[in-house]
Amino acid sequence: MRFNIVGAGPSGLYFAYLVKGLDSSHEVVVYEQNPASVTWGFGVVFSDRALEFLRDDDPHTCEYLTGHLERWNDITVVHDRTPIAVDGNGFGAIGRLHLLELLAARARERGVDIRYDTRVEDVDALADADVLVGADGVNSRVREARRAAFGPEVEYRSNRFIWYGTTQPFDTLTLTFRPTDDGVFCAHHYRYRADMSTFLVEVTDRTWHRAGFDRLDEGATIAHCEAVFAPDLEGHEIVSNRSFWRRFPVITNRCWSHHNVVLLGDALRTVHFSIGSGTRLAMEDAIALYRAFADHGGSVRDALEDFESRRRPTTDKLRRAAYTSLAWYEDMDAHVALSPMAFTHSYMTRTGRVDDAQLAKMAPRFMDAYRASGQGA
Ligand X SMILES: Cc1cc2nc3c(=O)[nH]c(=O)nc-3n(C[C@H](O)[C@H](O)[C@H](O)COP(=O)(O)OP(=O)(O)OC[C@H]3O[C@@H](n4cnc5c(N)ncnc54)[C@H](O)[C@@H]3O)c2cc1C
Binding interface with ligand X (CB under 6 A): 6-12, 31-34, 41, 44-45, 119-120, 135-137, 141, 163, 200, 264-267, 273, 276-280, 282
- Please report how close the Cβ of residue 135 comes to ligand X at its closest, in angstroms: 5
Smaller CB distance to ligand X: residue 159 or 344? 159
Strand (E) or helix (H) holding 359: helix 356-362
- Please report how close the Cβ of residue 360 comes to ligand X at its closest, in angstroms: 26
Smaller CB distance to ligand X: residue 188 or 367? 188
- Please report how close the Cβ of residue 260 comes to ligand X at its closest, in angstroms: 18
- Please report how close the Cβ of residue 231 comes to ligand X at its closest, in angstroms: 23
Smaller CB distance to ligand X: residue 284 or 306? 284
Smaller CB distance to ligand X: residue 168 or 274? 274
- Please report how close the Cβ of residue 79 comes to ligand X at its closest, in angstroms: 22
Smaller CB distance to ligand X: residue 198 or 344? 198
- Please report how close the Cβ of residue 165 comes to ligand X at its closest, in angstroms: 11
Taking a C-beta distance cutoff of 8 angstroms, is the pair 73, 26 a contact? no
Burial of 330 (0-12, 13-18, 19+ CB in 10 A): middle
Smaller CB distance to ligand X: residue 12 or 152? 12
- Please report how close the Cβ of residue 333 comes to ligand X at its closest, in angstroms: 21
Smaller CB distance to ligand X: residue 282 or 326? 282
